[in-house]
Every structure is written in C-alpha cells, then in structure tokens.
C-alpha cells in the first residue's frame, strides 16, 4: 500500500468519525452520553448480571449522572434513571423509541406478538387484550382463579417446596384460564410441557443447531403452534361466543391470522407467568421477615373470611376490593423487589436527548429499579414499609408495569390472582423459610436465593 493510499484511507476514516460526532439536530455536534462500553461484544453484561443491579446502577449514576452509556447483551445502550426521563421515553416521545427484545426471544415468542410493534397493529392488539382483561371481564373468573389457588395450596400441605417453581405453576394455570376459559384443563399438560422447554431458551444465543437450547426451544415452539392451531379449529367448530382472551382474538371483526393469534397467546403466557410468580415469591419472603405486617394482613383477610356463611367461604369480586392493607403489601413488594429492573426500547432515528445524541438503533433502558430505590422518591428505600403507599407516590416514580401505550395490559389480572392467593394463604396456612435467605439470584428476574425454599403446613 503506497503513501497516497494510506493518506486517503486515514482522511476518509477521519471524515467518517467526524460525521458520526456531528450527527444530531441541524448538524450540531452532539456528544454521546458519558459512560463506558466495556469489553468488545460482551460490554458490561457480566458486571450487570453477576451482582445486585442496584450496585451496578448506583455506581454508574454516581460517576456519570442520570444518563449514561453502556453495552449489554451485545447492544450499545443508553440508560436513564430519572422519572422525568423515563416518562420522556415511554410516554411523551414514545414514537421515537420502539419496544425491542433480544433476537432469540423475538423468534421464540413470535414476530407478530404485541411486544414488538407500534402504531395501528399494536393499538389493535392492545384493544383486544384489554377487552379480555378489564375489571368487567376478569370479575367473572374470580371463583375459577380461587379454585386454582386452593388447589395449589392444598398440594403444598406438609411439604418442603421451592416457592418460585410452585408459583410458576400457579400463575401458568391462571394465565391459561384467562386465555382459554374453563377449556384450559383440556390443554394444560401439553401446553405446559412445550412451554417449559421453550422458556429455557429465552435468553440463549440464537444458534439453531441440533443440541443447542435455541434449537430445542424452537422445536417446542413449533409444537405449541400446532396445539394452538388445533384449539382454534375446535373453537371454530363449536361456533360459540367466549369472553376469554382467545375469544377476544377470534371475535375481532377485522380478523387475525392463526399465526398472529398463536404469537400473541404465547406472548401473554410469557408476560403473565414469571413476573407474577416472582412477586408472589417475594411477598412470602417479606411477610415471613416482617411478622407485624403479616399479622395485619392476616387480620384483614380473616375479617373478610368471617363475613362469609357456610363452609365454602367463596370470595367475590367485591371482597377483593376490601383489601387495602394487602394491596399496599403488593405495591411495596413491586417497588422494593423491582422484578423488572429495566425495559428495552430502541431509538428509531437519531435522537437528541438532554443535550446528548442517542444514535439510531441504540437501545434505551429506563431504569425502573433505580427510580424505585432512589431516596429522593422513597425515603429509606431498602426498608420494606407498605405504609408508604397510604399516600400516592410522586408522579412517574412507581412504574412496576411500565408506562404509556406499552404498559402491561394485564396488571388488574395479576393483582387479582395475588390477592386471592394471599387470602387463602394467610387464613389457612403457616410457613417458614428453610435455610439462610440473604442472597439474591438474577436470571433474569431478581429472586430470593434458591427460589425461597419453605416448609408449609395447615393451621390447626
């Protein structure tokens, strides 16, 4: 290579880098946010997922401020940790930041799932999901959810159980109930078998070769689609109106394809299962560690139970509205456990943000955990104190279900199934945590060590 060629190469490289630095509104020179991109490809993924994320986030905020760049899961990212910035990304300028997930998860859930879209198609799907999950709809399945809760608790009697694994079974069954109605018992075992294989590959590298987790998961995904196609065929032959989620999808006058229905059903199972199971696991831990809180929750639930006649003691929708103390326990657990530490968005174009450039294609992560654990938003943030929710939190500081058009549409169902479970748990059973439980594991949700082993017994 001669000197002229070398000079041209260096000049072009300099020009390219200069253009990158000058991108932004009106050609103004905008810097990237401060921070570190870490090692090539892996970035700072190991630092984030090998420790308490509070430590990672807090150290970054101290060093760089409320907006900083990093590199995780193979993607350059900008993390934001103020309530105002989170609202900016999720609500005010949401059209500039589309929802996104790792490639492997997108392929497993299905590209037609609600999580991956904006605009008209997303609005249509959200309307269909909300139609099945409104309070008016889910109040009709209170007794069915209660049956699932009672059955689950009864199977634990006298046992040493892994709380998280058992809660996953409970929330999976409730998810199927909300999707398929009472027909879910006909498909439960086949769907559970396939889904358990599928979920093991959610965070795997998308390498579709025999023997890999991704390959096994994709095979299970195909079988799930086949089972769902059979269910759709049966529904069409029955030609009946259903108020469950599948009925909402199939009854839409504009019509969804079978592929779209399957992708969104699998997506709802994904969204409804592990997050709610994690919250329930943390609730049992916090109640066990705070006997005074457990006592007032139990008294509230026993008062409701005492109003019932006969031996069945069946809950009603109205009963679930008489649980303010228990509801505050759920809120505080959402805050302090912060099951979703952050959410992924992707810049759809170059965006100027607080004087910095967020390049098109970069991920933007509002840090829910950091917002929930800021002493500016919640005094003594590491203390479990449900009474703090006797007063509404400051705007944009409590985001357990996200915010904006992509907030979780199933939050009312999640709260309902937790309230019903806690009612029967506290009035009928006692439990004790087995072994030391100071540790937290992350993968990807924050969980008590070893899934919180507990010994469980019926009250005498």
Question: What pLDDT is attached to residue 303?
Answer: 95
pLDDT digits (tens, 9 = 90+) for 284-305: 999 999 999 999 999 999 999 9
Question: Mean pLDDT over residues 386-411, rounded?
Answer: 90
Residue 68 in this model has a pLDDT that exceeds 70: yes
Question: Residue for token digits 């999808």?
Answer: 249
Question: What pLDDT is attached to residue 297?
Answer: 98
pLDDT digits (tens, 9 = 90+) for 112-125: 888 888 888 888 99
In this structure, the dihedral spanned by the alpha carbons of residues 405, 334, 135 and 313, taken in order and rounded to 10 degrees, is: 170
Can you read off the two tokens belonging to residue 454? 């507990």
Question: What pLDDT is attached to residue 150?
Answer: 96
Asked if 350 contacts 359 with a C-beta cutoff of 8 angstroms, the reply is yes
Question: Mean pLDDT over residues 211-239, rounded?
Answer: 90
Question: Mean pLDDT over residues 158-178, rounded?
Answer: 94
Question: What pLDDT is attached to residue 444?
Answer: 63
Residue 154 in this model has a pLDDT that exceeds 50: yes
CA dist., res. 205 & res. 218, Å (int):
12
Residues 6 or more apart whose Cβ sits within 8 Å of residue 297: 287, 325, 326, 329, 422, 426
Residue 14 in this model has a pLDDT that exceeds 60: no
CA dist., res. 295 & res. 282, Å (int):
17
Question: Mean pLDDT over residues 177-200, rounded?
Answer: 88
Domains of the chain: 18-101+339-372 (3.30.43.20), 111-337+381-387+397-460 (1.10.630.10)
Is 39 strand, coil or helix?
strand
Question: Mean pLDDT over residues 11-32, rounded?
Answer: 50
Residue 7 in this model has a pLDDT that exceeds 90: no
Q: What is the mean pLDDT of the chain?
A: 86
CA dist., res. 283 & res. 420, Å (int):
13
State the DSSP H helix or E strand holding residue 366, giving kind and residue range, or none if neither.
strand 363-366
Asked if 452 contacts 164 with a C-beta cutoff of 8 angstroms, the reply is yes
Question: What pLDDT is attached to residue 368?
Answer: 92
CA dist., res. 223 & res. 244, Å (int):
23
pTM of the model: 0.87
Is 393 strand, coil or helix?
coil
Residue 240 in this model has a pLDDT that exceeds 80: no
Looking at residue 140, the DSSP 8-state letter turns out to be: G
CA dist., res. 162 & res. 426, Å (int):
18
Half-sphere exposure of 324 (CA within 13 A, CB side): 6
């Amino acid at each position: 290579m001669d000197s002229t060629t070398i000079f041209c190469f260096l000049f072009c490289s300099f020009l390219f880098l200069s253009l990158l630095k000058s991108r932004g509104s009106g050609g103004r020179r905008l810097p990237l946010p401060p921070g570190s991109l870490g090692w090539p490809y892996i970035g700072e993924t190991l630092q984030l997922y090998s420790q308490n994320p509070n430590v990672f986030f807090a150290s970054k905020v101290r060093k760089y401020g409320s907006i900083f760049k990093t590199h995780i899961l193979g993607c350059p990212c900008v993390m934001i940790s103020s309530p105002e910035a989170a609202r900016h990304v999720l609500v005010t300028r949401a059209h500039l930041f589309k929802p996104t997930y790792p490639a492997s998860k997108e392929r497993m859930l299905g590209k037609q799932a609600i999580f991956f879209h904006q605009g008209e198609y997303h609005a249509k799907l959200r309307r269909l999901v909300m139609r099945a999950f409104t309070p008016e709809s889910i109040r009709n399945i209170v007794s069915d959810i209660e049956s699932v809760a009672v059955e689950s608790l009864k199977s634990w009697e006298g046992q040493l159980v892994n709380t998280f694994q058992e809660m996953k079974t409970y929330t999976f069954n409730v998810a199927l109930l909300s999707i398929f109605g009472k027909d879910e018992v006909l498909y439960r075992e086949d769907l559970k078998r396939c889904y358990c294989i599928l979920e093991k590959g959610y965070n795997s590298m998308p390498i579709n070769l025999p023997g890999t987790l991704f390959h096994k998961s994709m095979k299970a995904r195909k079988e799930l689609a086949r089972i769902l196609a059979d269910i759709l065929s049966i529904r069409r032959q029955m030609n009946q109106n259903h108020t469950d989620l599948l009925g909402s999808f199939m009854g839409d006058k504009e019509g969804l394809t079978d592929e779209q229905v399957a992708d969104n059903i699998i997506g709802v199972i994904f969204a409804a299962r592990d997050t709610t199971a994690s919250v329930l696991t943390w609730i049992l831990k916090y109640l066990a560690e705070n006997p005074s809180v457990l006592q007032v929750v139990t008294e509230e639930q026993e008062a409701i139970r005492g109003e019932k006649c006969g031996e069945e003691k069946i809950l009603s929708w109205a009963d679930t509205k008489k649980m303010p103390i228990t509801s505050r326990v759920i809120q505080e657990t959402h805050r302090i456990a912060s099951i979703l530490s952050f959410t992924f968005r992707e810049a759809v174009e170059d965006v100027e943000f607080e004087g910095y450039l967020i390049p098109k294609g970069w991920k933007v992560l509002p840090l829910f955990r950091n917002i929930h654990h800021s002493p500016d938003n919640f005094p003594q943030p590491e203390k479990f104190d449900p009474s703090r929710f006797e007063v509404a939190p400051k705007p944009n500081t409590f985001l357990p279900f996200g915010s904006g058009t992509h907030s979780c549409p199933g939050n009312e169902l999640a709260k309902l199934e937790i309230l019903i479970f806690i009612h029967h748990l506290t009035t009928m059973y006692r439990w004790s945590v087995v072994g030391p439980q100071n540790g937290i594991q992350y993968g990807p949700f924050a969980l008590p060590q070893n899934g919180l082993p507990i010994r469980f017994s019926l009250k005498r």
